[in-house]
């Protein structure tokens, strides 16, 4: 608890419960509209003033190319810069991860309990000192990761500044209050205080304070330039991409102007344009949708993907939520209600979507029991195998630390010393053995790590030869390049399935793959007719590649 009786600082982490608030607000609106009888535009005087017109952004976009390339990135949540640099060299580069999303590097607030939401409360745009390390360490990380073939994506918190504590002193020693940040922003740079409370009203969502966080007036050219200068500083250090935190809370044309400032400046300097992806969730009855942001960066030559929150519903199939969710419903050509596709699920196009089974916000959602995570290790593995095996979107793997899914646990910061400085990473040896307060390192799990290679090798192919048992055992090929089979049943399943692969003996990459002329783990044989007979134990999977053939 903190002074004033609040339970910790408020933070976008809680934003997903707002969907319910938005629906509730909409419900009240509809009730009001219907209260006087049938709603009809005829003959009546509309006493509601039309909402003020807000500019919109054309939806034309160019794909980033990450989905088509079969790329995967990892979010090393709260990791220190030196540890990320080492991880790029020892694990991420060799495994083929395209990039690392790092925690926000700017100067952040210091809260009494050093909970993780500190990082989402900016105090200045200096990266001289955050709990992940110093500017020199950050620059070294960018260079070493790049040398290992791994890009760095920065989580850019540009919608707001800090509301707690106020007054306070940031991680680099800057003294501030909620609306005064020396040398950066004064009260005139913020929207007039109001509370984000009505998701049916775009102006309320974008120009008011998200959980009381002071909302930057991105309608101001000087504010936009200061934000752009921060991002440009990072790009000049070699940062290759940006996640825009709380993008739905920034007016879409104003955000496009910020992106354009960055893109055009970098173009003039002869530097590559960054990859952008925006945090925009969809919610029933909301004024703003992911499609309102499709055109971000287009006019300045860039590409911006968007987070597809609907995708995480895949986890419900693997946890067999409510007893009526099953893996066979992930068939891309399944019947109505039993099909996984962008159209069937109401998701954005594959070439626009960043997908995930969990992100740092959803993992901390108490209302959803923190989602499918390491604490349910084998099911978590199987779901990741599926996410990385099927072709939709640009997948992100969250790698974090162990915490208890309760009111206190979900606010807990990373392993730290008594002063709140993050401790070096020491990974649990596997998902099963991760103890509270220990780094889990989900991305090092052999199933997840090996599927990064799978996704890239099968890129450009579709799902074919889908097979399922009508419940929770499935298999499919990716062209002639790969095959996965997953059994989420409580018992072993034996089946003979058609495949897209040529005859021969293949090594399962999940259990070690090929080692010279032999398999390190499981092997399977495809007969001359292209059929595979296999027996999968309960809660297991195999994945084979044309390149894992003996």
Q: Which helix (H) or strand (E) holds 476?
A: strand 473-478
Of 65, 169, 46, nearest in space to 107 by CA: 169
Q: Which residues form the interface with Ca ion (CB under 5 A)? A: 159, 206, 215, 249
Torsion angles phi and psi, residue 186, rounded to 5:
-120, 175
Q: Name which of 174 and 206 has its Cβ closer to Ca ion.
A: 206
Q: How far is the CB of 212 from Ca ion (least distance, A)?
A: 13
Q: How far is the CB of 307 from Ca ion (least distance, A)?
A: 17
Alpha-helix residue ranges (DSSP H) falling in 100-155? 135-147
Q: Which of 190/467 has CB closer to Ca ion?
A: 190
- Least separation in angstroms between residue 206's CB and Ca ion is 5
Give the nearer residue to Ca ion in terms of CB position, either 249 or 443.
249
Angle at 462 between CA 148 and CA 471, to 5 degrees: 105
Of 149, 146, 153, 152, the C-alpha closest to 95 is 149
Taking the mean position of all CA atoms in its chain, how far away is CA 365?
14
User: Least Å distance between CB 249 and Ca ion?
Assistant: 4
Residue whose CB is less far from Ca ion, 219 or 238: 219
Residue placing its CB nearer to Ca ion in the complex, 205 or 485: 205
Shortest spacing between CB 182 and Ca ion, in angstroms: 22
β-pairing, 73-76 vs 394-399, is parallel
DSSP string for 44-112: ----SPPPPP-----------SHHHHT--EEEETT--HHHHHHHIIIIIHHHT--EEEE---SEE---T
What whole-number distance in Å separates Cα of residue 150 and Cα of residue 127?
A: 21
Cβ at position 207, least distance to Ca ion in Å: 6
Q: To the nearest whole angstrom, how small is the minimum distance from the Cβ of residue 117 to Ca ion?
A: 17
Run of H or E residues at 452: helix 446-457
Which candidate in 71, 106, 279, 305 is catalytic? Answer: 279
Q: How far is CA 434 from CA 107, 328, 376, in A?
A: 30, 31, 11
Distance CA 505, CA 485 (A): 16
Shortest distance (Å) from residue 195 CB to Ca ion: 12
In angstroms, the CA 307 to CA 305 distance is: 7
Strand 129-130 and strand 133-134: the pairing is antiparallel
For the question of residue 279 being annotated catalytic, the response is yes
Choice among 245, 365, 449, 468 that is catalytic: 245
Query: Which residues is 483 bridged to in the sheet?
Result: 477, 544
CB neighbour burial string for 195-220, b if at least 16 within 10 angstroms, e if fewer: ebebbbbbebbbbbbbbbbbbbbbee
Q: How many residues does the chain have?
A: 550
Show the tokens assigned to 364: 């901390």
Rounded distance between C-alpha atoms, residue 260 and residue 61, angstroms: 14
Shortest distance (Å) from residue 329 CB to Ca ion: 38
Three-class SS of residue 365?
coil
Q: Which residues of 385-420 are buried (b: 16+ CB within 10 A; e: fewer)?
A: bbbbbbbbbbbbbbbbbbbebeeeebbbbbbeeeeb
Quick one: 126 or 159, whose CB is closer to Ca ion? Answer: 159
- Beta-bridge partners for 504: 526
- Residue closer to Ca ion by CB (options 206, 396) is 206
Residues catalogued as catalytic: 245, 279
């Amino acid at each position: 608890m903190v002074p004033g009786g609040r339970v910790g600082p408020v933070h976008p982490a809680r934003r997903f419960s707002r969907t319910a608030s938005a629906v509730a607000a909409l419900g009240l609106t509809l009730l009001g509209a219907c209260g006087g009888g049938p709603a009809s535009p005829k003959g009546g005087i509309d006493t509601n003033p039309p909402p003020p017109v807000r500019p919109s952004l054309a939806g034309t976009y160019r794909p980033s190319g990450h989905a088509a390339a079969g790329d995967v990135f990892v979010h090393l949540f709260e990791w220190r810069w030196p540890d990320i640099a080492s991880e790029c060299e020892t694990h991420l580069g060799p495994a083929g991860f395209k990039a690392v999303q790092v925690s926000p590097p700017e100067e952040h607030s210091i809260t009494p309990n050093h909970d993780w939401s500190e990082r989402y409360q900016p105090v200045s745009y200096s990266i001289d000192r955050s709990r992940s390390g110093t500017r020199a360490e950050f620059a070294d990380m960018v260079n070493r990761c790049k040398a290992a073939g791994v890009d760095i994506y920065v989580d850019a918190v540009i919608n707001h500044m800090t509301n707690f504590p106020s007054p306070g002193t940031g991680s680099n020693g800057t003294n501030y209050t909620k609306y005064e940040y020396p040398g950066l922003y004064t009260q005139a740079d913020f929207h007039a205080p109001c509370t984000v409370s009505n998701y049916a009203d775009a102006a309320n969502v974008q120009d008011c304070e998200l959980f009381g966080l002071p909302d930057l007036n991105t309608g101001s050219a000087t504010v936009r330039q200061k934000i752009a200068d921060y991002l440009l500083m990072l790009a000049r250090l070699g940062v290759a991409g940006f996640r825009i935190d709380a993008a739905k809370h920034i007016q879409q044309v104003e955000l496009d102007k910020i992106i354009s400032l960055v893109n055009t400046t970098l173009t003039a300097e002869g530097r590559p344009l960054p990859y952008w992806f925006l945090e925009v969730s969809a919610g029933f009855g909301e004024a703003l949708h992911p499609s309102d942001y499709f055109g971000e960066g287009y006019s300045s030559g860039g590409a911006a993907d968007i987070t597809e929150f609907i995708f995480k519903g895949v986890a419900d199939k693997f946890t067999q939520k409510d007893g009526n969710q099953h893996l066979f419903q992930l068939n891309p050509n399944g019947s109505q209600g039993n099909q996984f596709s962008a159209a069937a699920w109401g998701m954005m196009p594959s070439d626009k979507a960043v997908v995930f089974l969990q992100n740092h916000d959803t993992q901390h959602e108490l209302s959803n029991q923190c989602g499918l995570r390491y604490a349910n290790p084998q099911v978590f593995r199987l779901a990741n195998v599926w996410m990385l095996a099927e072709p939709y979107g640009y997948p992100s793997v969250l790698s974090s630390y162990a915490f208890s899914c309760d009111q206190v646990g979900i606010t807990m910061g990373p392993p730290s010393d008594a002063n709140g400085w993050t401790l070096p990473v020491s990974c649990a040896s596997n998902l099963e053995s991760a103890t509270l307060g220990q780094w889990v390192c989900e991305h090092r799990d052999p199933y997840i790590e090996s599927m990064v290679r799978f996704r890239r090798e099968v890129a450009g192919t579709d799902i074919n030869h889908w097979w399922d048992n009508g419940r929770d055992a499935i298999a499919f090929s990716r062209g002639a390049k790969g095959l996965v089979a997953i059994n989420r049943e409580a018992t072993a399943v034996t089946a003979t399935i058609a495949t897209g692969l040529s005859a021969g003996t293949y090594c399962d990459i999940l259990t070690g793959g090929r080692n010279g002329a032999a398999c390190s783990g499981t092997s399977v044989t495809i007969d001359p007719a292209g059929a595979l007979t296999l027996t999968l134990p309960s809660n297991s999977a195999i994945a084979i590649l044309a390149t894992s053939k003996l």
